[in-house]
Amino acid sequence: MDWESLRQNHKTAYLATEHDRLAAKIGELSALVVNDPAMAELAKAEVAELEKQQALLIEQMTAIIDNDNKGEELGGKGVIMEFRAGAGGDESALFARELSEMYQNYCLARGWSWQLLDDSQNDIGGYKEASFEVKSAEAYQALKLETGVHRIQRVPVTEKQGRIHTSTASVAVLPIVDAAKADINPTDLEITFSRAGGAGGQNVNKVETAVRITHLPTGLTVRSQSERSQQRNRDKALALLAAKLQAARLEIEAKKLSAERLGQIGTGDRSEKIRTYNVL
């Protein structure tokens, strides 16, 4: 295994560090076996137990990496990036928007297309949630480790007493999936149409071009309003739904290995804090 990569990958870093800690402990006990015959049997038993724990850690890291590799196989068409405000009220929504703009600049600088699928804004222009489509075969490999909760510490523009606040926003990176090959039963879908808001020309606010799709078995809901035609918004919403369903399936597969243990160890899901931004 590439231990250096595992230590640098935020999804496996804790597991790799724990494996290193157990290895050091095993080294100490092995020395005890040689130097203290009276403690040899007890030390051997503890070494055997620690080696079992190491094997479980390796299985868990392998499952996480396999899960990532499946995502890479699916990510040839690009990704869908989702941004969602977390703790911090309006400030977290502003942070979510700033994160999206940061990634937009990064993607455009690399020559990738970046298109808004849908957004929900608060009164001061922050994103309660927003989703974007990034078209590039390189996007998933470059962005996959950005998934997680991002945290910022700063004095918000809404703060009148100069106090530092901590806010969070989550980022999800989903490989684009071909909806036609996603095995979605049409009878499982509830599709509704409405008038879109925002940019897009005169047609946007006069015709019901915005599309909302609910996957009834899971309760997942997606929406697209960026296109000027109902059909194109429907296609984009279906692609977003397919990506979310695929991500959910991959997550379930990764957790099957050891659901109880993975529930207490970092797995790289959206609750995992991956970065803190300190603004002075």
**pLDDT value of position 126:** 92
Instruction: Tell whether 59 and 185 lie within a shared domain.
Output: no
Instruction: Tell whether 260 and 149 lie within a shared domain.
Output: yes
**pLDDT value of position 185:** 85
Instruction: Tell whether 68 and 203 lie within a shared domain.
Output: no
Report the number of distinct structural domains present in the chain.
2
Classify strands 127-135 and 113-121 as parallel, antiparallel or unpaired: antiparallel
**DSSP category for residue 130:** E
8: containing domain: 3-73
- The predicted-structure confidence for 130-140, as pLDDT tens digits, reads as follows 999 999 988 98
What CATH number has the domain bearing residue 128? Answer: 3.30.70.1660
**pLDDT value of position 96:** 95
Instruction: Tell whether 165 and 239 lie within a shared domain.
Output: yes
- The predicted-structure confidence for 153-184, as pLDDT tens digits, reads as follows 998 877 778 888 889 999 999 888 776 666 78
Instruction: Tell whether 63 and 112 lie within a shared domain.
Output: no
Instruction: Tell whether 135 and 237 lie within a shared domain.
Output: yes
**pLDDT value of position 134:** 94
**pLDDT value of position 261:** 42
Instruction: Tell whether 152 and 266 lie within a shared domain.
Output: yes
Where is pLDDT greater, at 22 or 34? 22
Read off the pLDDT of each residue in 214-235 and give the average, rounded to a whole number: 86
Query: Which of the listed residues 73, 101, 119 is the one where a domain comes to its end?
Result: 73
Asked whether the CA dihedral 60, 58, 246, 129 is positive or negative, the reply is positive
Query: Which of the listed residues 24, 46, 73 is the one where a domain comes to its end?
Result: 73
Give the range among 25-34, 122-131, 136-145, 243-252 with minimum mean pLDDT: 243-252
CA 280 vs. chain centroid, Å, equals: 28
Residue 271 has φ and ψ, to the nearest 5°, of -80, -5
Where is pLDDT greater, at 55 or 251? 55
Separation of alpha carbons 248 and 225, rounded Å: 24
**pLDDT value of position 180:** 67
Q: What percent of the chain stands above pLDDT 90?
A: 25
Give the range among 81-95, 110-124, 126-140, 171-185 with minimum mean pLDDT: 171-185
- For residue 73, pLDDT over 80 is answered with no
Query: Which of the listed residues 30, 53, 73 is the one where a domain comes to its end?
Result: 73
**pLDDT value of position 141:** 84
Read off the pLDDT of each residue in 268-277 and give the average, rounded to a whole number: 61
Nearest Cα to Cα of residue 243 among 220, 211, 272, 275: 220
Residue 206 confidence class, pLDDT cut points 50, 70, 90? low
Read off the pLDDT of each residue in 133-148 and give the average, rounded to a whole number: 88
**pLDDT value of position 113:** 93
Instruction: Tell whether 260 and 127 lie within a shared domain.
Output: yes
Instruction: Tell whether 41 and 89 lie within a shared domain.
Output: no
Separation of alpha carbons 124 and 75, rounded Å: 34
